[in-house]
Structure 1
Amino acid sequence: MSITYECVLLGTFDSSLLDKVRDKLRVICDANGDLHCHEKVMSVQAGPNTTNGRMVMRREGIDETDESAKWCVCVKWRSVCNSYKPPGLLCVFSELNQRHSRTFPTNAQKSRYNPQLLIRSTINLPLDTNHNAVEFVQALGYNPNHEFSKRGDTYMCNGVIVSVYQLHNVGVNGERVHEDNVWMVEVRSLPVVPDQSAVADPLNVAMHNCLKLKATLKPLVLLKRVEH
């Protein structure tokens, strides 16, 4: 299974600007339906910067209470301009190979690094149930970081997904990490596989399209590279 790359930008805005942000996106993007997503964020405590040891369990669906819904575990790490293996990644690949009889890459493909964007590498692996997924991820040494739900609207524009959502964030011990009125915009490219031999490298195209949307939304939302 190949490693895919995506560009990510995040920004927050005041709820009073919600209508203006949505109106702007309706003009420049295609509506992509409602966003119903539930995520569990797990991380390896391997130093001050745990970005490179982050794993996300994600389930998408309308009914968040459906226990039979399929989960997907995403191994994520920040891509830099050299082949970097995040903490515990080789252990993860080894475990995935053994459990699922698949061959996963053991080296991150080299990618050009753009300081304006978070270039994130992701491996997706389908899992069966919530219970099995949690046990599997924790067996790899990952621990709960925080859990959140995103509810809002998504838009598509030139291979870029723009999500406008309200963040409901609850910490590991049940405390609120964010207030309920926090609104966010996430600009994220569709997953791509870099091809430096192509006339138009998909990763370069993704970077360009994300930065173009960033410039368009700048008067309303301050989109920036965020280590997450």
Structure 2
Amino acid sequence: MATGCIRLVRLGMCAGFVLALLTRAAVAGPPYVSDDPEPTDYKHFEIYTFNNGTTTRDGTTGESGIDFNYGAAPDLQLTATLPAGFDLPAGGGTNVGLSNIELAAKYRFLHQDGFGLDVSVFPRIFLPSGSNSVGDNRASLLLPIWVQKDWSGGWSAFGGGGCTVSEFRAVDFCQAGAVLTYQILPKLQIGAELFHQTADSNGTPATTSVGIGWRYDLNDNYHLLGYVRRGIENTNETDQYSWYASVLFTF
């Protein structure tokens, strides 16, 4: 755990360095692993229908589901994620079931117009999946902090991280990430991400990955999001490749 925390601090310093170097408000968060500090607009909804997955030498695991976000108050977003999980072991067989339901609340307590950065906390509770083959059958809590900076010309950077803790988990773990996005066309945004996570269980190594993402706005209410990622540390064990795809409805 000590080694993992040192790595987390180093990556956090790197993310901070990227944010410091890079000098139109951007929509962030999904499709990336790292989140952003911008809550859903007050009295508005963001609903993602998504599919994601990761392939390692042991097989492929992933989820499909719906991610509900509601702007419950200025600077406050309430979130509920309802996923169905799947597990395709390399040796054959398929496991499908309800994965970990997520409940979260994002609160932005600092703003760019006054502080220079948007800063939010976004605690997230993962409920037990109730399955030994899909998801995690133990409850856990992610405690992260996220920051963002936007510039004229279509550039934006966001990132941060936190740790996941559980009374019943043998190993708590931490994660950190940084994303740089660019509004290349009026309806198309692209971005790149560096992400790191410490070992999340005994015998499972830490992982570092790089990914690219995009968002295409069909109109004000319908949006297409995609993301692909590959591990650059312990690749075969943790992340030979990953993906995320979703249709976002905003209203």
Task: Give the TM bin, normalised by the shorter chain.
Answer: 0.3 to 0.5
Higher relative contact order (CA 8 A, sep 6+): 1
When you count helix as a share of all residues, which structure comes out higher? 1
TM-score by length of 1: 0.33
